[in-house]
Amino acid sequence: MASAARSDVGRPTKRAKHNHDVDFLKHFSVEGRSRQYPSLRKIICQFSGADNVVPMHGGLPPSDSFPLSSMLLRLRNGQSVDIVDDKKVASAQQYCTTVQGYPALHTWCERHMKAMHSPPGQHEVLLTNGSNHTFEMVCELLLDRGEYILTEEYTYPSVIESVIIPKGYKALGVKLDQAGILPDSLLEVIMEHKATGRRPPHVLYTVPTGQNPTGMVTALERKQKIYQICSEHDIVIIEDDPYYYLQYSLGTAEAQGLDGLGQTYLSMDVDGRVVRLDSFSKFLLPGMRLGWVTAHPDMLQKICFALHASTMGPCSYTQVMIHEVLEAWGDQGLQTHVKKMQTEYKKRAAIVQEAAEKQLSKYAEWTAPRAGMFLWLKLTQVDDSMDLFEELKAAKVVVVPGTIAHCGGPDPSRRCPFVRLSYATASIEELPVGINRLGDVLRKVSQKQSHVQEEADTKVTMATTMY
């Protein structure tokens, strides 16, 4: 049934304020403090679907002018999703006129979030255009030009080159290992920066599961220590977790699906300081550009304002389609799909791991992946993996030089021995071929270095003999 006009459009749900809630007014940037809900957008959303109201306020095309009368989706599992309901078909073709996204999908995301994370504090959900756009909005709301943001030393390259650098923020790199961010390093970076007298860093960006580029999975004990440090120093945590559903073991254990994926920063967020970014991209449909963000109501309200000013909300067609697929699957269908995805990535990771053990063990060090889609290699006989780029291109295998993923951004003077290998895109048959080609290049480099060293040793011996 259509809802009555809402007077609370753009406002978070009213809840009791906890004494330990983060005061976001202390964190908002100049833009964040001034960001308000666009007036016209507010009126349109306020009266969307209202009973007995003649809608002469919005420039929304009439639904009977839309070209689609139904949508039929055929799924890989043999199911068909036939969308024939007039309201759903119309909603898919109209502007998104609801504050938090397509209501049915928003309800699904909210229920799913609570089932997966059970956050202890105040948190609400907003549908977004995906994590990249959401990260950019969150940064704009929290950081002014020239301010510092804490990140892993090696991190998702796009956030550095597409957001942090062009917007004038400065990344403070924190060291990490295969169990995640090192708490001592985080604390050291914070204290060193405080000692300069500048405003302390108040935002941490982290990819805790199947991290891009290192593939690391942050251990629970690490998360607890990092959260405690952030709480003590009043730091907002941006938890970007697109690979959360792509966890697996290279052993014989069956895929776990949605069960036992581990505690998240959101699940321990008693302060309301976590802004969690989730995405349908990695476990469902990357081309749909759809995700959801979970945050404290005060923060979520500002993200909502920014989202509707920027894109007028996520794509309606995408929202309706994804909801209908999830509805057709039900909880068990989604569980089956996630298990299938985990099994696929586990298979790919195992193939790459086996090939690497055969071809790369003399030339690189790595940790077997447990999540995501990347293998992070430290080359033991090469100072800078960028030096190999042309040789790898000639060998017809492409990898990502580690320096590209450094939080400091591109720097030709930086020597970096790491490379990131993806096992997501190449076919199953191509994966060992790619590892073999990489191994051939590293073997030739090693032989060349040995030859150069032998010549140098010979010259030293001859010189010693002469004198």
CATH number of the domain enclosing 366: 3.90.1150.10
| Residue 327 resides in a domain | no
| Residue 3 resides in a domain | no
Least confident of 90-104, 194-208, 273-287, 326-340: 90-104
pLDDT tier for residue 349 given thresholds of 50, 70 and 90: very high
Q: How high is the pLDDT of residue 418?
A: 97
Residues 121 and 257 in one domain: yes
Residues 234 and 374 in one domain: no
Residues 109 and 246 in one domain: yes
Least confident of 57-71, 167-181, 214-228, 326-340: 57-71
Q: How high is the pLDDT of residue 1?
A: 33
| Residue 173 resides in a domain | yes
Least confident of 15-19, 87-91, 162-166, 281-285: 15-19
Residues 349 and 245 in one domain: no
The residue-averaged pLDDT of 179-196 equals 96
| Residue 68 resides in a domain | no
The residue-averaged pLDDT of 68-73 equals 95
Q: Which residue has the higher pLDDT, 417 or 51?
A: 417
**Which of 316, 347, 377 represents a domain boundary (last residue)?**
316
Q: Which domain holds residue 373?
A: 337-466
Residues 417 and 281 in one domain: no
Q: Which residue has the higher pLDDT, 402 or 455?
A: 402
| Residue 193 resides in a domain | yes
**Which of 287, 316, 345 represents a domain boundary (last residue)?**
316
**Which of 316, 350, 378 represents a domain boundary (last residue)?**
316
pTM of the model: 0.91
| Residue 40 resides in a domain | no
| Residue 31 resides in a domain | no
Residues 425 and 305 in one domain: no
Does 6 score more than 50 pLDDT? no
The residue-averaged pLDDT of 183-189 equals 98
Residues 299 and 397 in one domain: no
| Residue 84 resides in a domain | no
Q: How high is the pLDDT of residue 259?
A: 93
Residues 302 and 394 in one domain: no
Residues 256 and 135 in one domain: yes
CATH code of the domain containing 126: 3.40.640.10
The average confidence (pLDDT) of the chain is 90
Number of domains in the chain: 2
Residues 158 and 270 in one domain: yes
The residue-averaged pLDDT of 212-235 equals 97
Residues 224 and 302 in one domain: yes
Does 14 score more than 50 pLDDT? no
Q: How high is the pLDDT of residue 39?
A: 80
Residues 300 and 385 in one domain: no
Three-class secondary structure assignment of the chain: CCCCCCCCCCCCCCCCCCCCCCCHHHCCCHHHHHCCCCHHHHHHHHCCCCCCCCCCCCCCCCHHHCCCCCEEEECCCCCEEEECCHHHHHHHHCCCCCCCCCHHHHHHHHHHHHHHHCCCCCCEEEEECCHHHHHHHHHHHHCCCCCEEEEECECCHHHHHHHHCCCCCEEEEECEECCEECHHHHHHHHHHHHCCCCCCCCEEEECCCCCCCCCCCCCHHHHHHHHHHHHHCCCEEEEECCCCCCECCCCCCCCCCCCCCCCCCHHHCCCCCEEEEEECCCCCCHHHCCEEEEECHHHHHHHHHHHHHHCCCCCHHHHHHHHHHHHHHHHHHHHHHHHHHHHHHHHHHHHHHHHHHHHCCCCEECCCCCECCEEEEEECCCCCHHHHHHHHHHCCCCCEEHHHHECCCCCCCCCCCEEEEECCCCCCCHHHHHHHHHHHHHHHHHHHHHHHHHHHHHHHHHHHHHC
